[in-house]
Chains A and B, each alone.
Chain A
Amino acid sequence: MLALKLAQREFKNNFRYWFFFSLNLTIGLVGFTFIFLFRGNVTQSLAMRSTQLLSSDIAISGRRDVSGEEEKKVMEFMQPLHTEYSRLVSLYSMGKSDSKTRLLFVKFIQDNYPLIGEIKVSSHGTVNSKHIKELNRNPLVWISPEVEHQFKLSRGDRLKIGSIEFKVDGVIKEDTTSAMRGFQLAPKVYVGQSFLEQTELVSYGTVAWRTRFFNLKDPSQAESIKTQLNNIITDKAIKVRTPENASEQLSRVIGYLSDFLGLIGVVALLMSAVGISYLYQSYIFERLKQVGILKSIGVSRSQILLNFLIIIVCVGILSTLMTLGMANFALPFATDYLKEFFKGDFLQGVTWEVVGAIFGLSLIVNILTCFPVLSLLLKQKTTTLLNGELEGSLSPWLYLPGAFFLWAMSIWQAHSIIIGSVFFLALFVVFLIVMTILPMGLNRLNKKLLGVPVSRPVSLPFGYSLRLIARNKFTTLLMVLSLSIGVTLISVIGQLDKSLKTELTSSKEPKPSLFLFDIQEEQVADLKAFTKQNQIPLREPTPMIRARLLKKNGEIVKREEKKEGFSTREEDQSRRFNNRGVNLSYAPGLNASEKLVEGRDFSGTYSGEGLAEVSLEKRYAKRLGVEVGDTLTYEVLGVEVQAKVVNLRQVNWTSFLPNFFIVFQPGVLENAPKTFLAVVRQISFETQLKIQDLLVENFSNISIINVSEVIEKILAMFKVMAWAIGVMSLCCIVVGLFVLYSILQSQLLKKQKEMALQKLMGFEANDILKITLFEFSFLSFVAQFIGSVMGIIVAYIVSFLFLDGVFVFNGEFLIGVNIALYLLTVMTIFFTFKLRYSQNVNQLLSD
């Protein structure tokens, strides 16, 4: 076949060119692959942690046990689908030692608990089924460090739970099943499930959570199995959870990271696409004469098109293979390093999804972006092509298939229609600016330069470069477009990076050390007086009322099920937030970690007339689809409470203060059954122990959890996330810089002939360097300006939509990245110039 032979000859005769070309492409793709893999591994790591939180692939839990009929159906359904099965019963109960009585969170476990994850106990290390069998055979208990301290217990001591006296067998040192599950209302203990009945704790009316855990033969089917289970158990009181739902406990933070990873995925994708399409388009423009020759000797259009396609496909395959080779080579090193941060979870290598993405990117995107140029090329007259020229202009419509493809890829990568679309829209705006306003400016400049000596304005190199910019419109526009898209994307990452890090780690409030739960209403005054007397830094106790959202603007809130297959983040969020039972609180105004962002303050205490006033956390309100002025109806222990949303608040959750999504004005919920929670501000470990002792002695029913360790763990995780964001941003910026470098290199190579001519006309090497520097500096400046402004705008929009409106302007990054880009431009020009300048004059003569 002629097209194949031509392609073969092309590779044979220009091997070095194609090798360099593939290498350029490969380095861009390697960057993309690493970001892709990194994102995959972070997501997988989080998913694994979520699975450990849930301690199985799927769990069915509720305050009541499933009925006999339901259980029969569930077990019949799950029989062919599961590999392991375990049950857990957990409840709150008073524990009693020789001298103390306190509330405990008791978990009754079976031999194989947890199905996924691990528990470490001081006396056994990581526990196995043998240890739990022992727990089920003898009345033994594993206690949390708080219980150890508050009850002053040691191994072998007795702790009575219900009717049974258990012997302390060890202290829980690590527990993956609850480490990140938020705070329970009392310190936890583990006992064998075989003692459940004997404790006599479960009787009619007792609140106990019963959970059935299943490990699935195919964990990827968890979501669809969940949907089917929800059809079997229709009672909303019983919930079916998958690891994805378990991670909802951390959903806000993980959601941030996930959104951001999505953005970086999009940026990496678009950066690679910009670079690759630029390289291919440049290649096609370099081959105009060759196409003219082929046409003149009778080669048909289809053969020429096929020839180009074969070359594109071959280079795509070559680059994909090189990328995979490099990724496989470098991945073990990266994995070793990243294991430190992901504690051995960094498992995913180059998967078929990655191979597919790279191959798709290098082929489909190339073909789609080169298609318009190819179609224009094939329409040309042979004589025009022989002169190395192109007549007519590119129809923007021809870019539509490529644009749609990239848009779809963006949504897929970002898992969000809005993020994907915002990015695409921003790029479209950049495209419009570059393709409409810039040409007008260039035309005006050109008119002004006509008939003026080349050495004006300013100097010969400056005047010369201005003419090149004004008259070489295609190159100017293409370069400014590519650069400004690149800079836009890099700027977005930089700006969002700071906003996100600030949101994650900004709280300057001292973190609390102790959380006090279950404070009864009548104890509040005594507790305040006691803490004041003992100089305990207690913050004002906050009331908490359990409720359920019934109606939004008069319409009943329905439970939404997750649909099968692909769903966007927006759909998931809407579903998640519409199904929530809620905790309410009331307060006269905002606390130190809150900021009013919309609406007005409460009008004061509720008078009893009209609707009550409620304040919502901004992000919660958005996901619930509620605005200021809307009405919400809650059920508080059987009583309906209707309220009007009067304001939206922004909450700094990393303050770790008791904050609520829903806060009522005073005078509405005061009479509802409630408990209070309070925090003791950051204090030293010794003081913590002293205060715990004092509180335990004086308020025996109040549950005290030492949260400093948990908060430290969460903050450490935030730091890892911030680190991950930093690394990924850096990867993306490196890819971006390389793509920009490739674009500059490609442009400079094209200018060799002109440089030779300049030299022949008596230009000194320094003057030629100056001309090139002026030209590219100007293009770079224009692109950097457009890109930086657009980057800030996009970052602001994304922050507004997804990061609680937290936008922190990153001036250092803006200056840094622009200096870096400019230095890159100058250095690329300088080194390429030094390398090529001395070689090119003879080539010109032999031409």
Chain B
Amino acid sequence: MIEFKSVSKTYLQGIKEVEVLKELNFRLDKKGLVAIVGKSGSGKSTLLSLLAGLDNPTHGEIHIDDVCVSDLNESELTKFRASNIGIIFQHFHLIENFTALENVMLPLEVTGVKDAMEKAKNVLATVGLEDRIHHFPNQLSGGEKQRVAIARAYVTNPKIILADEPSGNLDPETGEKVMQTLFETARELNQTVILVTHDDELARKCDSIYEIKDHRLNHVC
């Protein structure tokens, strides 16, 4: 369960206060694929960062299951995020000096999982990279990098995967393949994926679609 209760977020731009999200209420009970669409600057990424606990709301509360994320301190948030949330970025954000295997293995090792290497190898095989595990990011293509990022997000089996325009930096064909990997893995592992995207066609492949408009989140379908 994910719940936003009267969440508002304002930023200061110089001396001007900019309201990005306003009195946002939203509840998601079922697992599945959720798309959040909206124009550029509408607040999609802000919503995602609030959900990931990377930023605090100006007003309101955010709950994931029984935990009020906005009440957690820095250390609690880090632990909560490590075991409950996986994040996929548009620009991959892999650790350049680590191999694909090490990048995927790392979140497991942080939480002290014992057979981290085996699990990481399995997930990499799921995304079709079993023969690239010892390659460094600069030896991988864009699509491969994003698949490593997907594997890294999934490897801890988090409750929620947050994906910020994951195919935005890829060509259409590669992007489609990557998204297919993302969706298939989510369904296979029965996980909730919250996908921020501009792409209406991609959004339509999700189980539900929400749109951010005029600082509010509206259920489209």
A451-B134, A460-B109, A846-B45 given; A759·B78 CB < 8 A: yes
Contact assessment for A845 and B49 in the assembled complex, using a CB-CB cutoff below 8 Å? yes
- Asked whether B55 lies within 8 Å of A842 as measured between CB atoms, the reply is yes
CB pair A453–B82 under 8 Å, yes or no, is no
CB of A639 within 8 Å of the partner chain: no
B138 to chain A, nearest CB (A): 7
Is A761 in contact with B97, judged by CB distance below 8 angstroms?
A: no
Q: How far is the CA of A767 from the CA of B109 in the complex (A)?
A: 12
**Other-chain residue from A450, A753, A757, A838 in contact with B134 (beta carbon distance below 8 A):** A450
Question: Nearest residue in A to B164 (C-beta to C-beta)?
Answer: A845
B74 near A763 (CB under 8 angstroms)? Answer: no
Q: A451-B101, A454-B98, A842-B54 are in contact. Are A761 and B74 (CB under 8 A)?
A: no
| Stretch from B110-118, B177-185, B202-210 forming part of the interface with A | B110-118
- Size range of the interface on A? 20 to 34
B48 near A454 (CB under 8 angstroms)? no
Question: Is A468 an interface position by the 8 A CB rule?
Answer: yes
Whether A761 and B107, one on each chain, are in contact in the complex, defined by CB atoms closer than 8 angstroms, is yes
Give the residues in chain B near A765, CB-CB below 8 Å: 74-75, 78
Which residues of B lie under 8 Å from residue A232 when comparing CB positions?
none
CB distance A454 to B105 under 8 Å? Answer: yes
| Binary flags per residue of A734-767, CB closer than 8 Å to B gives 1, else 0 | 0000000000000000000110010111111101
Q: Is A467 an interface residue (CB 8 A)?
A: yes
Which residue of chain B has the shortest Cβ distance to A841 in the bound complex? B54
Asked if B106 and A454 make an inter-chain contact with CB atoms under 8 angstroms apart, the answer reads yes
Complex formed: what's the CA distance from A846 to B74 in Å? 20
Q: At the interface, is chain B mostly helix, strand, loop or mixed?
A: helix
A847 to B, closest residue via Cβ: B91
- Digit string of B125-166 for contact with A (CB within 8 Å is 1, else 0)? 000000000101010000000000000100010000000100
Within the assembled complex, what's the spacing in Å between the Cα atoms of A467 and B102? 10
Q: Check B49–A762 contact: CB distance below 8 A.
A: no
Q: What is the bound-complex CA distance between A841 and B52, given in angstroms?
A: 11
The interface residues of chain A lying within 8 Å CB-to-CB of B95 are: 754, 757
Chain A 451-475 residues near chain B, CB threshold 8 A: 451, 453-455, 460, 467-468, 471-472
Contact A460 B110 (CB under 8 A): yes
Inter-subunit contact B97/A763 (CB<8 Å): no
Docked complex Cα distance between A468 and B98 (Å): 8
A764 contacts B75, CB within 8 Å? yes
- With beta carbons under 8 angstroms apart, the residue of B74, B78, B105 that contacts A762 is B78
B78 x A845 contact (CB < 8 A): no
Residues of B within 8 A of A389 (CB): 138
Tell me if B87 counts as interface (CB < 8 A to partner A): yes
**Complexed CA–CA distance, A435 and B48 (Å):** 45
A761–chain B nearest beta-carbon distance, Å: 5
**Beta-carbon nearest neighbor of A460 in chain B:** B109
Are the C-beta atoms of B54 and A761 separated by less than 8 Å? Answer: no
Q: Is B99 on the interface with A (CB-CB < 8 A)? A: yes
B contact residues around A451 at 8 Å (CB): 101, 134
Q: Within A412-449, which residues are at the interface with B (CB < 8 Å)?
A: none
The complex places the Cα of A541 from the Cα of B70 at a distance, in Å, of: 94
Asked if residues A760 and B81 are in contact (CB atoms below 8 Å), the reply is: yes
B residues in contact with A801, CB < 8 Å: none
**Given A455-B109, A762-B82, A845 and B99 contact (CB-CB distance below 8 Å):** no
Cβ–Cβ < 8 Å partners of A847 in chain B: 91
- Which 10 residue pairs spanning A and B have beta carbons closest together? A762-B82, A471-B97, A762-B110, A455-B109, A761-B107, A845-B49, A472-B97, A841-B54, A454-B109, A454-B102
Residues of A bordering B, CB below 8 Å = 389, 450-451, 453-455, 460, 467-468, 471-472, 753-754, 757, 759-765, 767, 838, 841-842, 844-847
B residues near A (Cβ < 8 Å) are 45, 48-49, 52, 54-55, 74-75, 78-79, 81-83, 87, 89, 91, 93, 95, 97-99, 101-102, 105-107, 109-111, 116-117, 134, 136, 138, 152, 156, 164
27 A-B pairs (CB sep. < 8 Å): A450-B99, A450-B134, A451-B101, A453-B116, A454-B98, A454-B106, A467-B97, A467-B98, A471-B98, A472-B97, A757-B95, A760-B54, A761-B107, A761-B110, A761-B152, A762-B83, A762-B107, A763-B78, A764-B78, A764-B79, A767-B110, A841-B54, A842-B49, A842-B55, A844-B89, A845-B45, A845-B89
Besides A467-B102, A762-B110, 5 other A-B contacts (C-beta < 8 A)? A764-B79, A842-B55, A844-B89, A845-B49, A845-B54
